[in-house]
Structure 1
Amino acid sequence: MIGTLCIFTLLSSTAAWGPVGRWREGRVRNETGGGSGDRCTCDAFLPSSTFPIRDLVVVEQTAVEISHKVELEMGKLEDYETKLTAYAERIIQLTVEIEKMEKNPDDYNDAALDGVKVEIKQVEALVKELQLSIASSTIIFQSLHVQITTMVATLDWMEKTYDKNAVLVTRREYIKVQLELEECERRHQELFNPNIGSCAHNGIIRVSKPIVSQLNAHLSSGYKFGGWGKDSKPVPDRESMYWYSGYTSTSIVDIRFYTNYKNLILRNNFQHHNLQSGWTGTGNNYIIRDNTLYYQINSPFGLAKLNFTTMKYESRVIAKASTRFSYTDMPNQNFDFAADETGLWVTYATEESSGRMVIAKINEPSFGVEEEWQTSVYKPGVSNAFMVCGVLYAVRTVDIQTEEIFYKYDTRTKQESHISVLFEKFQDKFSNLDFNPTDQRLYMYNNGYYASYHLWFNHTTQATAQPPLVLTS
């Protein structure tokens, strides 16, 4: 109407996000003011928070950039493989020539010897150059993991805050990129560390930066207790299977299985087992081995195993094991199961040992203790522990971002020693840390997040002379 001023007032709202706000019904009103005519006002509701499209675009752009970098690294790996083959062949040829010279030194003059020495130095220079290239690739992998970790945090926040369907396309792109990076790292590890499953080494010398997959399958930061990983002795057709169990307390009440890594990330489990009454457990240091869950129970206090192929349940009591000693800042972790290249283990503390850790080898068919070893490390001073090739590695907290592998006990030689191999955490608290011999990785359940680490071992004399690499941010 003529002479009427219409004012639209924008009000905040808790409405769901969207491109258009919502109008308040029945709020059109006429007002008569002291001015020149009537005035009507309409109140329009806009959402209190709009969908962060800019953040989503940044994630998508980052995914594309990472994908391109991974493609470049895959190309480099093929080049490395070609060079390694050529260098190995030349070294074999030089070895044969040197052996001939040693057997018949009179048949060769000084010029021939000098020629071989020059070739050896040339091969040494090429190997050093290749080592620098490998180190450069490792740094790039670490950088890519930092970017992916940021993507994980952003996508998890968006899924919890906004419509999950709007994030799904980007989540799939992220999964594709992460799988590409995993494959590139797998080839890198196979090329330069082909000794997976071998115990011909002198121990751990380095731990990678954390590889953060995502928040747990419940998409809840409240599920701080639990574990995840792979079967350490997978049954046929389940070599790529992953498992996860999480809860809001240290109890273990169910477990989920995923056919592969992609389905783990998509939270698409193919089996979900709820532990029956009387089968529930406690603590967070359980593992899956041979499609069997090994875990701690409190009634009676002891060990339990549940075979998911036969659904057969068994339990055992270790009379000397004490309920008083758990890991630092993590209750009810009295028994800690571990698996390595040599079999199944469990660690605990006793009153006789005054809280010092005891290592026990478990006979898998009988579920009995075969042998025990007494260590000098005090369990309440340890944040977690794991086994590799019959050697116990104990871990302690340095600060909110750093853990240290500080102690090892070799059950073959009964020798113990103090070491220092530092590695980073994604979050400050973690409830589960286990080594898997099928891929030589550490799996950590880090304050509700899936995290894992690559390990490097001292396979050569040269590695013995090098100090452990300390990873810093």
Structure 2
Amino acid sequence: MITILFCLLFLRATLAFQSLAPSSEKNETVSPSQSCTCEAFLPDTIFPMGELELLEKSSLQISHKLELEISKIELFESKLIIYMDKIVNLTLLIGIMEKDPDSYTEVQIEEVKIQIKQIEALIVELQASIEISVTVLVSIRKEITSMIVILTRLETTYDKNLVLLTRREYIKLQQKLEECERRHNEIFDPNIGSCDHGFISRLSKPIISHLNAHLNAGHRYGGWGKDSNPLHGFENMYWYSGSSNTLVSQVNVYADYYRLIMRQPMKTHELYTSRDWRGLGNNYVVRGNTVYYQFREPFSMGKFNMTSQTAEYRVVPSASNKFSYFYSANQNLDFAADENGLWVTYSTGGSKGKLVLGKIDEAAFALKEVYEMNIYKPSVGNAFMVCGVLYATRSVDIKTEEIFYTYNTHTRKESYVSIPFEKFQETYVYLDYNPTDQKLYMYNDGYYVSYHVWFHQNKNKVQVLI
């Protein structure tokens, strides 16, 4: 690239030199056996070639650093999956031992303690690596920002066409850095609350956190996740509700992820005490310390305020309880929360089972806008909302699920896409996005499962992931 630029500059300098030569100067003919040479001095007032060469060298170094960081992040991802598996297995073992401690010898208990210490050491090691990676990424961003400033100055001061090629290279570096930081942030420090991106491009491999808090594979119905709009002081809170059927009777809340894994709820909210506030289906979300769910009787939208311990319901006009998702019964009113607020999906008799989306006015607890779609709800595995866009899934095979449909409420346009992702097990009953960490939470045959979400950089442009 620098060679091309130099040739262009040399040609311009030669032409300028010839045009400035005195007319009285004698012209001479050069024979074919002779060569004509000349020296051209290009001061910085014409173009700072030395500065550009230094920038190119720096770009190569930065590119190398970024490649190293991307490989590290890929290693972090694989290590996290391994550590999660170790923690899940160890947690299950400890749970079994707690039920019958007398059946285990001191040697066996000591072996478990050693395993715990080994995992702690692995986590400390990973944390140290992450901190170093963060420092390097911050340093790289500063370097690229500084160089973009220099290139912008060169572009405005000198010939734009000569700087353009170099500037494009730096923009590519900047994009690579953003992708690297994005991947890092999605794992360790999500940039939450922003919709300055395009549609979903892909999902990570499933991250298996734990068997449900009951440690019972029979509790295959339920859901889990985080508050999508947490109250102050409850930002780290998790919730879980699970059952052996689709009846929703209680919700457990946990102070943080550690206590969720250790099955130490700070509160268990019963929905069947002095009054019957129970629900149906696996279609709830927690927002503002309030559970939004399908009320059982009458069939309606329900919300249970975990702060005041009170519940209320609203009947949805025309909503039918005859159309559920493919994987589970009674998911007739499916709640979702994203960066734009609270939503509910359902079907009506008039729509003949096609999906309908309602935007909920949270203060009035009523629908304020309704969107009708062209997909048959019973053919859909599940649906969730991200930045005002509905994503619907379906089964591909026993190991693969696919986001196959989107509906953009901003443009009222629907699209068919193909974004496959791996399932932990064949069937699942709960799938919802959380805007506080930009992750998908799945309840898969009794297990807590989650996914990191990647977005396209080009806003409002649907792309098919091959």
* Aligned AA (1:141): F
- Which digits, 9 at most, give the CA deviation of each residue in 1:101-144, with x for residues without a partner? xxxxx9955552x4454345445434433442343133213322
Structure-2 change in CA distance of 1:152 and 1:425 (3 Å): farther
**Matches of 2:433 and 2:123 in 1, distance apart?**
21
Structure-2 change in CA distance of 1:333 and 1:177 (3 Å): farther
**Matches of 1:215 and 1:267 in 2, distance apart?**
10
Among candidates 118, 132, 140, match of residue 67 of structure 2 = 132
- What are the within-5 Å matches in structure 2 for residues 70-219 of structure 1? 111-112=47-48, 114-152=49-87, 154-155=89-90, 158-159=93-94, 162=97, 166=109, 169=113, 172-173=116-117, 176=120, 184=130, 195-219=191-215
Q: CA shift at 1:430, angstroms? A: 1.2
Structure-2 change in CA distance of 1:177 and 1:241 (3 Å): farther
Q: Is the 8 A contact 1:175 1:265 kept in 2?
A: no
* Aligned AA (2:82): Q
Give the match for residue 396 of structure 1: 394
Give the match for residue 247 of structure 1: 243
Q: CA shift at 1:458, angstroms? A: 1.9
**Matches of 1:414 and 1:178 in 2, distance apart?**
48
Give the match for residue 308 of structure 2: 310
Q: Is the 8 A contact 1:156 1:219 kept in 2?
A: no
Structure number with the higher strand fraction is 1
Q: CA shift at 1:344, angstroms? A: 0.4
* Aligned AA (1:279): W
**Matches of 2:52 and 2:463 in 1, distance apart?**
26
1:228 lines up with 2:224 in the alignment: yes
Give the match for residue 427 of structure 1: 425
Give the match for residue 103 of structure 1: none
Structure-2 change in CA distance of 1:310 and 1:125 (3 Å): same
Give the match for residue 42 of structure 1: none
Q: CA shift at 1:308, angstroms? A: 0.9
Give the match for residue 374 of structure 2: 376
Structure-2 change in CA distance of 1:355 and 1:127 (3 Å): farther
Q: CA shift at 1:158, angstroms? A: 2.9
Give the match for residue 450 of structure 2: 452
Aligned with 1:217: secondary structure? coil
Structure-2 change in CA distance of 1:314 and 1:138 (3 Å): same
Aligned with 1:136: secondary structure? helix
Q: Which moved more, 1:426-435 or 1:362-371?
A: 426-435
Q: Is the 8 A contact 1:326 1:334 kept in 2?
A: yes
- What are the within-5 Å matches in structure 2 for residues 310-389 of structure 1? 310-389=308-387
**Matches of 1:413 and 1:431 in 2, distance apart?**
29
TM-score by length of 2: 0.71
User: RMSD across aligned C-alpha pairs, in angstroms?
Assistant: 3.0
Give the percent of matched residue pairs that are identical in Structure 1 and Structure 2. 44
- Which digits, 9 at most, give the CA deviation of each residue in 1:140-171, with x for residues without a partner? 13322442354245335534654566386367
- Which digits, 9 at most, give the CA deviation of each residue in 1:1-55, with x for residues without a partner? xxxxxxxxxxxxxxxxxxxxxxxxxxxxxxxxxxxxxxxxxxxxxxxxxxxxxxx
**Matches of 1:387 and 1:431 in 2, distance apart?**
16
Structure-2 change in CA distance of 1:116 and 1:457 (3 Å): farther
**Matches of 2:74 and 2:464 in 1, distance apart?**
18
**Matches of 1:348 and 1:465 in 2, distance apart?**
25
Structure-2 change in CA distance of 1:141 and 1:466 (3 Å): farther
Structure-2 change in CA distance of 1:222 and 1:191 (3 Å): closer
Give the match for residue 237 of structure 1: 233
Structure-2 change in CA distance of 1:107 and 1:373 (3 Å): farther
**Matches of 1:278 and 1:257 in 2, distance apart?**
20
Aligned with 1:223: secondary structure? coil
Structure-2 change in CA distance of 1:312 and 1:177 (3 Å): farther
- Which digits, 9 at most, give the CA deviation of each residue in 1:75-112, with x for residues without a partner? xxxxxxxxxxxxxxxxxxxxxxxxxxxxxxx9955552
Aligned residues, how many? Answer: 362
Give the match for residue 164 of structure 2: none
- Which digits, 9 at most, give the CA deviation of each residue in 1:323-377, with x for residues without a partner? 1211112111111100011100001111222211111100111100010111112
Aligned with 1:214: secondary structure? strand
Structure-2 change in CA distance of 1:265 and 1:411 (3 Å): same
Q: CA shift at 1:424, angstroms? A: 1.3
Structure-2 change in CA distance of 1:195 and 1:204 (3 Å): same
Structure-2 change in CA distance of 1:222 and 1:175 (3 Å): farther
* Aligned AA (1:201): H
Structure-2 change in CA distance of 1:311 and 1:162 (3 Å): closer
Q: Is the 8 A contact 1:175 1:262 kept in 2?
A: no
Q: Gaps (5+ residues) in structure 2? A: 1-41, 102-108, 135-180
Q: CA shift at 1:418, angstroms? A: 1.6
- Which digits, 9 at most, give the CA deviation of each residue in 1:270-290, with x for residues without a partner? 101111242000100101000
Aligned with 2:322: secondary structure? coil
**Matches of 1:294 and 1:261 in 2, distance apart?**
21
Q: Is the 8 A contact 1:443 1:451 kept in 2?
A: yes
Among candidates 413, 416, 419, match of residue 415 of structure 1 = 413
Q: Is the 8 A contact 2:220 2:244 kept in 1?
A: yes
TM-score by length of 1: 0.70
Give the match for residue 6 of structure 1: none
- Which digits, 9 at most, give the CA deviation of each residue in 1:181-236, with x for residues without a partner? 69959966596566421111111112111111111111111111101111000011
**Matches of 2:244 and 2:127 in 1, distance apart?**
30
**Matches of 1:391 and 1:174 in 2, distance apart?**
43
* Aligned AA (1:128): S
Q: Is the 8 A contact 1:360 1:370 kept in 2?
A: yes
**Matches of 2:396 and 2:237 in 1, distance apart?**
33
Q: CA shift at 1:395, angstroms? A: 1.2
Aligned with 2:113: secondary structure? helix
Q: Is the 8 A contact 2:327 2:428 kept in 1?
A: no
Give the match for residue 143 of structure 2: none
Give the match for residue 59 of structure 1: none
**Matches of 2:115 and 2:305 in 1, distance apart?**
34
- Which digits, 9 at most, give the CA deviation of each residue in 1:440-469, with x for residues without a partner? 1111111111111111112358x979863x
* Aligned AA (1:137): K
- Which digits, 9 at most, give the CA deviation of each residue in 1:236-278, with x for residues without a partner? 1101111111000011111111111111111111101111242
